[in-house]
Structure 1
Amino acid sequence: MQSSSIASRRARVRSAGRPRTRLAGLVLALTMVATGLAAAPAATAQENPYERGPAPTERSIEALRGPFAVAEDRVSSLVIGFGGGTIYYPTDTSEGTFGAVAVSPGYTGTQSSMAWLGPRLASQGFVVFTIDTNTTVDQPDSRGRQLLAALDYLVEDSDVRNRIDPNRLGVMGHSMGGGGSLSAAESRPALQAAIPLTGWHLSKNWSRVTVPTLVVGAENDLIAPVRSHSIPFYESLSSSLDKAYLELDGASHFAPNISNTTIAKYSISWLKRFIDDDLRYEQFLCPPPDDREISEYRNTCPHS
């Protein structure tokens, strides 16, 4: 945010015989300066209409809960396109609508394996939909289509649709759900963010993805080893894309299935930065973070 400067003028009164005029000029000048000082913050306060919540700190993005109180709404498995799930949403709408994120579990997993992310992300100012898939053995591309169906349900049919900005949407997923998030991003370039978590997919070429993508791998992943999954995913993404690769130090494939501060911290920062265009979170992504929980970090800073 650019700071504004105020230029002040000195009134020069030629006639010493007109003290009232000199006094009036001084009052006018002081009034102009005071008015300018008062107006400056108001002029810049709405520079980004999508900012939600107070200015972030390391402590605030590492916290188990953010500034927004959260409620939840269950969605029946009878919906068309995916297997139902749980919507977590901020209860306070005084700041306006929110961006939304759909989250898929991995192979044989259910929404319960990703449930910890729901209230944690929602309390930072997002509507979060942790979904069940049609079957627990659905493959990545199918999970990608289900993530998009879940987003469509959120903005068109859900009970919280009036709380959501339909132009500010993202996807996340674990394992085959992570592969699904890449597939969804490739299919729908209008998305604002994608975060595959220890993702698995047979395709290693995602050069057509134009959605800002944070790839999260795990150093000790034996199911989707980073050398054959997360790293090739990241490297195949266009060099002109806003992208990052974060490798969890000493972590296994199942790190995203339990509450994980590192995953939450950088997911929040990525979603805020690209779904909400909130530059206040750029500081946690660029320059590369110095975090002992991260064994490797790559990026395309500065972000566009």
Structure 2
Amino acid sequence: MHPRSQPRSRTVRSLWAGAVATVGLVVALIPGAGNAGAADNPYERGPAPTTSSIEAARGSYAVSQTSVSSLSVTGFGGGTIYYPTSTADGTFGAVAISPGFTATQSSIAWLGPRLASQGFVIFTIDTNTTLDQPASRGDQLLAALDYLTQRSSVRTRIDASRLGVMGHSMGGGGTLEAAKDRTSLQAAIPLTGWNTDKTWPEVRTPTLIVGADGDTIAPVATHSEPFYNSLPASLDKAYLELNGATHLTPNSSNTTIAKYSISWLKRFVDNDARYEQFLCPLPRPSLTIEEYRGNCPHTS
């Protein structure tokens, strides 16, 4: 080796590092540079996701909550709004969630702070009566979204064009009803849904159907699977069947439900392609997933 080779190599590396640093400084000084993803999609909220971040009990946003009395609303039974405390990132998408037959909002309360902390306004609602059927629950979900975006104390924090619905059991059946009635919704997630109507070719909203392998109240063979199969083939849709789960599994904190609900809402309410990695390739069967079907999200 030439005796001057090593010092020259260090000099070249030093000059190269300096050039890179200079370019980095120039890029950093350009408004919006280094944040191309956010510039391309103004609805992105929060840091780039990881498996750990979507499985965590809380996301990156601190969350506040406010109660809504049934006496102050019409069309549904009131509820609790969970929302990111900070307004620094602008507006957020919003999701209304309905409980199931005989249940109240307490049965789905865990979803409120968990989803809101990822960058959503979440409204867990009570229904007019605990015996309301799915069609009524669908109407009530839409009434709750209208209240949320038009009259609620957090309405200025919400982008009214980016809304979704979720629900458990008959609330899940109501989720499909709401999506059928309001095709402008961006996402729908029925959780162990129950409905006497098994076919949903009218739905135009990206839909993630969650069933449970041990569900004896709304067995997947007569509820979640027919729901999924009847959705248009051209629709962004998925069927997640939980392993070792029952009809009531969505009533308590569940990492698999949260993980894929967050990914679905982020991808379709926020149009955030950073979350496609959790939906495509399709998740494989595991200790918590009995089966997953679906199509990879269509590019916007």
Q: What TM-score do the two structures reach when normalised by structure 1?
A: 0.87
Residue 46 of structure 1 aligns to a residue in which SS?
A: helix
1:51 aligns with 2:56: no
Say whether 1:214 aligns with 2:208.
Answer: yes
Preserved contact between residue 276 and residue 297 of structure 2 (Cα < 8 Å):
no
Distance 1:179 1:302 in 2: 23
Return the match for 1:134 from 101, 114, 128. Answer: 128
1:76 equivalent in alignment to 2:76: no
- Alpha-carbon distance change, 204 to 68 in structure 1, aligned in 2, over 3 angstroms: same
Distance 1:252 1:98, change over 3 A: same
Aligned 8 A contact 2:141 2:165 in 1 = yes
Equivalent position of 1:295 in the other structure: 290
Query: Which residue number in structure 2 is paired with residue 179 of structure 1?
Result: 173
Aligned to 1:259: 253
Q: Distance in 2 between matches of 1:94 and 1:263?
A: 28
Q: What percent of counterpart residues are identical?
A: 71
The structure-2 alpha-carbon separation of the partners of 1:286 and 1:34, relative to structure 1 and needing over 3 Å to count, comes to: closer
Letter in 2 for 1:74: S
Q: 1:55 to 1:134 in 2, by over 3 A?
A: same
SS at match of 2:70: coil
Cα deviation for residue 300 of structure 1 reads 1.2
What is the distance in 2 between the residues matched to 1:46 and 1:125? 18
The answer to whether the 8 A contact 2:38-2:44 is kept is no
What residue is the counterpart of 1:8 in the other structure? none
Counterpart CA distance in 2 for 1:64 and 1:280 is 20
Could you tell me which residue of structure 1 aligns to residue 89 of structure 2? 95
Q: Paired residue for 1:62, among 55, 58, 62?
A: 55
Counting only pairs closer than 5 Å after superposition, residues 238-253 of structure 1 correspond to structure 2 as 238-253=232-247
Q: Write the distance in 2 (CA, Å) between the matches of 1:163 and 1:152.
A: 14
State which of 115, 123, 127 in structure 1 corresponds to 2:109.
115
Q: Which amino acid in the other structure matches residue 159 of structure 1?
A: S
Cα deviation digits, residues 220-276 of structure 1 (max 9, x gap):
100000000000000000000000000000100000001111000100000000000
1:198 corresponds to which residue? 192
Code of the residue aligned with 1:97 in structure 2: it is: T
Question: How many angstroms apart in 2 are the aligned matches of 1:206 and 1:52?
Answer: 31
The AA in structure 1 aligned to 2:82 is: Y
Between 1:286-295 and 1:269-278, the stretch displaced more is 286-295
Distance (whole Å) between structure 1 residues aligned to residue 92 and residue 189 of structure 2 = 18
Q: Could you tell me how far apart the structure 1 residues matched to 2:255 and 2:158 are?
A: 26
Separation of aligned partners in 2, 1:42 and 1:68 = 19
Structure 1 unaligned segments of length 5 or more: list them. 1-28
RMSD: 1.8
Change (3 A) 1:53 1:83: same
Distance in 1 (CA, whole Å) between partners of 2:272 and 2:165 is 18
Shift of 1:93: 1.1
Q: Which of 262, 265, 271 is the aligned partner of 1:277?
A: 271
Partner residue in 2 for 1:105: 99
Q: Which moved more, 1:225-234 or 1:281-290?
A: 281-290
CA distance in 1 between counterparts of 2:23 and 2:149 reads 46
Tell me the secondary structure at the aligned position of residue 137 of structure 1. coil
Asked which structure has the greater CA Rg, the reply is 1
Aligned partner letter, 1:75: V
SS at the partner of 1:183?
helix
Distance 1:111 1:34, change over 3 A: closer
Number of aligned positions between the proteins: 276
Offset from partner CA, 1:77-98 (integer Å, 9 cap, x none):
1111000100000001101100
Within 2, Cα distance between the matches of 1:124 and 1:134?
Answer: 29
Task: Return structure 1 stretches of 4+ with deviation > 6 angstroms.
Answer: 32-36
- Using the TM superposition, give the Cα deviation of residue 303 of structure 1 relative to its aligned residue in structure 2, in angstroms: 2.6
CA shift at 1:41, angstroms?
2.5
- Structure 2 residue matching 1:41: 3-state secondary structure: coil
What residue in structure 1 maps to residue 159 of structure 2?
A: 165
